[in-house]
Chain A
Amino acid sequence: MTAREKALRIAYFSAAPLISLAAFSQVFGTWFQNDDFGWLGLRYTAAEKGLTYALFHPLAQGTVRVFSERIPFLALPAGFGITPIPFRILSVVTLFGALTLTALIGTRLTGSRAAGLLAAIFWGVNANLTRPLAWAADFNSILCAACVLTAFYARLRGWRLAEWIAYLLGFGVLEVIVVYPAVATLHSLCLDRKRLRSALPLFIPAAIFSAIHAFFIPNTGGDEYRIAIDARIFATLFEYLRLSTGPVQLYQFIGEYRRSGIAASIAIGAALAIFTLWRILRRDFLPLVCWGWFLLFLGPLLVLPKHVMEYSLATPLIGISWLGAWGVVRGWRANRGTRVLAAAVAAIYVIPTFYEARLYTAWWRDRSLPLRAVVESVRKGLRAHPGTAFIVQGVDNEVFNTGFDDNPFRLFNAVVYLAPGSEKQIPLIRENPNDQIYVISARDAYEMLEHGKARALTLSGTAAPDTTAIYKAVLSLDPTVTRRNYVDVADARFASQVGSGWYTPEQSLRWMGKSATLRIGGPVSPSEKLKVTGYAPEALLGGGPIRLTFSAGGIAIGTATVAKPDAFSFEFQLPSSLAGKDEIELKVETSRTFHPPNDERELGMAFGTFAIR
């Protein structure tokens, strides 16, 4: 190989990665968001329950993605701390590998190096790759594409062992790998019959994996992940097709050119359809393989009508990219007219899609920065004021939705409350009452600030400076600061409100004996209710359900039965005669107590919080 050939080869293989890097360069400035915080806490799970549990126990909708989630989230924070850069580098390097394989496979399928390169570029600038590249929790989409491409390339080269290794590794990456044998079979049927026999054994691991998932791992994903095999499949497919053809999405970011985007996407779709028909009529079945790749890898997601996520397109889109690239090359080769047409279709796909990728990545990055400001301020504040809690003002629904409710602060053992009144800015808290725990009352906030037990941070834009003195002065204007409507019985800061009958706090819970009392601010209005949370361990319920009796201010307010060993929460209407009282005494009594082995305590029930709201 001459120096010129070597240089051309380097240029050929680096073109798609460099163009893709230009489209997604802003991923390096993007911080962690949402599910990332749950996974970043995995190392604490490993410390508590063991490495085997952290690696292999089904988590997050019953998934076990060892290579794409468990290992990266255990290893990278352990090696580099809580920083997203190693995750971004890992994603981008994986993408580069996948792009190279896309080019190599495209070349083999079409016999054209230009088509291979174009396919890699088409895929590498698609805006649907934004989240897989810029969200550590979605690295699985890119790694899955890399595994599938590796297996398929090895198949085309006849490297059976390499194909099996990449394929089997894929089971620890993303569940959609079960579709690979069908794709390999389709390819063999359409283009390479002599390899058909080698495709059939691939179904065995897929069947075993599917059976394990179906029969042994419960689907804990809730309504969003409920399988629906009905006519909605077609609507879901249409939605994914719409998301796949770039320009139609651009208006979401620039607010204009909606019709142009739709027209461009229709033109691209029509060009793909015409090219597909033309090739099939000429008994060239490569387009069937490309569409099969798209539809088969998308197939498992089509039965989830409430979970249409553009990142799911990462692997399926590769099939369309090969088809589009092959169409452009064939058009270019045919005659002058089709050459112009092919170039035009390529341009109306690449230019808006590249632009959309830039805008989407910038939006995704900007979305992550306010929460970063809060988390970093808490982390730095904790260093300057060890042991203090933090009260955060200025969090709105959008910021809350980027991961506040995933509690990133537990990664530093920090206690963080939302400032009083935050619930008015954050409908998400109102929709999920369990999150009320984060909102501190004005009185408690003021008292904690007054006694140096908390610092105040105010989020504004992408900064969250310490505003303790200012916020304390502001809080003093609030007439409700004299009210204490919340008690965390396990938290030492509320010790003055905890009465008789309690044992020493244990982590986030506190056991009571047969009965216990506490003091809390009375309801402001008769509409406010008493909200109680706690936890009943299995051993406690060995003798059957336990009945809890509650009274407030000496008046019985209700009973509740705990029958299941789990976290519980109850609400009680309060007598109107208690409205407006500065303080009332709450009393809880259990129907039965329990003596654990080697423990002299008589345990009644474990409670967490009491609130009147």
Chain B
Amino acid sequence: MRRLIAAFAALTLVTMASGGCRIKKKAAATKAAAVEEDGELASVLSVAEPRTAAQLTRGFYAVEANQWRWTAKNFSVALHPPKGSAENGAVLQLNLSIPDVIFNRLGPITVTARVNGTDLGPQTFSQAGEAVLKRDVPAAALKSDVVAVDFSLDKGLPPTEQDARELGIIVTSAGLIAK
């Protein structure tokens, strides 16, 4: 009977060791919340950065892997125009990724961007993977302290029983870059 107990102890130790190894604590995910005084409106924002998350005004889902977010078919951000852009204009840049799961079902995706209502024209992404949307923004659209940037996709995955979200693309950052 002692052999049974010994065998079981060994089995349990193996189980505990494997369980402990597989489940890594996500230090970043469990970091304590802290309240500090608020910052300033950003021109370029990482969608995973809590401090600028207020600028993700529409169509973004929860941050994942502390790096990126899924979007809906239509999504928006609010950005602070960079210095000198009211005179020279700026470049709108969206770092995105089209996952295979989306591309295989929807095919090429066209993204249209508007800044304060000014249409910047569409850009089509014809393959899965990481990509960058870049559009020139005229100075006339950047005269205020904060501008609304609206993105819309020509297609998206509708909600399913498994996932109640309408899914568009994955975004890591968005911003206005001075010319």
Task: Find residues 247-273 in chain A having any chain B CB closer than 8 Å to their own CB.
Answer: none
Contacting pair B63 A465 (CB below 8 A): no
Partner of A355, one of B1, B19, B66: B19
Residue ID in chain A nearest B33 by CB atoms: A373
Residue ID in chain B nearest A370 by CB atoms: B62
- The yes or no answer to B34 lying at the interface (CB within 8 A) is yes
A393 to B22 Cα, complex, angstroms: 34
Min CB distance A94 to B, Å, is 22
Contacting pair B5 A377 (CB below 8 A): no
CB contact under 8 A between A474 and B12, given known A462-B33, A469-B41? no
Min CB distance B92 to A, Å, is 16
Residue ID in chain A nearest B24 by CB atoms: A362
Interface segment, one of A73-81, A451-459, A543-551 = A451-459
A113 to B54 Cα, complex, angstroms: 60
Contacting pair B50 A460 (CB below 8 A): yes
Contacting pair A476 B146 (CB below 8 A): yes
Residue ID in chain B nearest A365 by CB atoms: B30
Task: Specify which chain B residues have a CB less than 8 angstroms from the CB of A117 in the assembled complex.
Answer: 5, 8
Partner of B50, one of A22, A114, A464, A477: A464
Task: Find residues 336-371 in chain A having any chain B CB closer than 8 Å to their own CB.
Answer: 343, 346-347, 350-351, 354-355, 358-359, 362, 365-366, 369
Contacting pair A350 B15 (CB below 8 A): yes
| B interface footprint on A1-39 (CB within 8 Å = 1, 0 otherwise) | 000000000000001000100110000010000000000
| A interface footprint on B126-168 (CB within 8 Å = 1, 0 otherwise) | 0000000000000000000111100000000000000010000
A477 to B79 Cα, complex, angstroms: 11
- The yes or no answer to B32 lying at the interface (CB within 8 A) is yes
Task: Specify which chain B residues have a CB less than 8 angstroms from the CB of A118 in the assembled complex.
Answer: 8
Min CB distance B62 to A, Å, is 6
Task: Specify which chain A residues have a CB less than 8 angstroms from the CB of B18 in the assembled complex.
Answer: 351, 355
Task: Specify which chain A residues have a CB less than 8 angstroms from the CB of B101 in the assembled complex.
Answer: none
- CB-based A-B contact count at 8 angstroms: 161
Contacting pair B35 A377 (CB below 8 A): yes
- The yes or no answer to A380 lying at the interface (CB within 8 A) is yes
Contacting pair B52 A470 (CB below 8 A): yes
CB contact under 8 A between A347 and B50, given known A114-B1, A462-B33, A469-B40? no
- The yes or no answer to A421 lying at the interface (CB within 8 A) is yes
Min CB distance B30 to A, Å, is 6
Residue ID in chain A nearest B26 by CB atoms: A366
Min CB distance A358 to B, Å, is 5
- The yes or no answer to A310 lying at the interface (CB within 8 A) is no
- The yes or no answer to A376 lying at the interface (CB within 8 A) is yes
- The yes or no answer to A231 lying at the interface (CB within 8 A) is no
Contacting pair A15 B9 (CB below 8 A): yes
- The yes or no answer to A178 lying at the interface (CB within 8 A) is no
Contacting pair A461 B38 (CB below 8 A): no
A338 to B164 Cα, complex, angstroms: 48
Residue ID in chain B nearest A421 by CB atoms: B58
Min CB distance A383 to B, Å, is 9
Contacting pair A393 B54 (CB below 8 A): yes
Contacting pair A477 B146 (CB below 8 A): yes
- The yes or no answer to B16 lying at the interface (CB within 8 A) is yes
Partner of B53, one of A112, A113, A380, A458: A458
Task: Find residues 76-126 in chain A having any chain B CB closer than 8 Å to their own CB.
Answer: 112-114, 117-118, 121
Contacting pair B40 A346 (CB below 8 A): no
A333 to B12 Cα, complex, angstroms: 20
Contacting pair B5 A114 (CB below 8 A): yes
CB contact under 8 A between A474 and B15, given known A355-B22, A381-B35, A398-B62? no
Partner of A465, one of B5, B28, B34, B147: B34
Of listed B5, B9, B35, B62, residue having the most chain A CB within 10 A: B35
Min CB distance B153 to A, Å, is 18
Residue ID in chain B nearest A396 by CB atoms: B62
Contacting pair A464 B33 (CB below 8 A): yes
Residue ID in chain A nearest B116 by CB atoms: A477
Partner of B30, one of A346, A369, A397: A369
Contacting pair A462 B16 (CB below 8 A): no
Task: Specify which chain B residues have a CB less than 8 angstroms from the CB of A476 in the assembled complex.
Answer: 146
Contacting pair B29 A366 (CB below 8 A): yes
Contacting pair B148 A477 (CB below 8 A): yes
CB contact under 8 A between A358 and B57, given known A346-B8, A474-B146? no
Contacting pair A396 B34 (CB below 8 A): no
- The yes or no answer to B61 lying at the interface (CB within 8 A) is yes
Min CB distance B78 to A, Å, is 4
A469 to B39 Cα, complex, angstroms: 7
Min CB distance A252 to B, Å, is 12
Contacting pair B41 A477 (CB below 8 A): no
CB contact under 8 A between A384 and B35, given known A112-B1, A465-B50? yes
Contacting pair B50 A458 (CB below 8 A): yes
CB contact under 8 A between A460 and B33, given known A22-B20, A467-B54? no
CB contact under 8 A between A362 and B23, given known A369-B30, A372-B33, A373-B33? yes
CB contact under 8 A between A465 and B38, given known A118-B8, A121-B8, A421-B58? yes
The 20 listed contacts between A and B (C-beta, < 8 Å) are: A19-B12, A23-B16, A346-B11, A350-B15, A372-B33, A373-B33, A374-B33, A380-B34, A394-B54, A396-B62, A459-B50, A459-B53, A463-B33, A466-B37, A466-B38, A467-B38, A469-B40, A470-B42, A470-B54, A477-B148
Residues of chain A having any CB pair with chain B under 8 Å: 15, 19, 22-23, 29, 112-114, 117-118, 121, 328-329, 332-333, 343, 346-347, 350-351, 354-355, 358-359, 362, 365-366, 369, 372-374, 376-377, 380-381, 384, 393-394, 396-398, 421, 427, 456-471, 473-474, 476-477
Nearest 9 A/B pairs, CB to CB: A373-B33, A460-B53, A460-B50, A467-B54, A463-B50, A458-B54, A380-B35, A474-B78, A471-B54
Contacts beyond the supplied A332-B1, A350-B12: 4 A-B pairs with Cβ under 8 Å: A329-B1, A458-B50, A466-B37, A477-B78
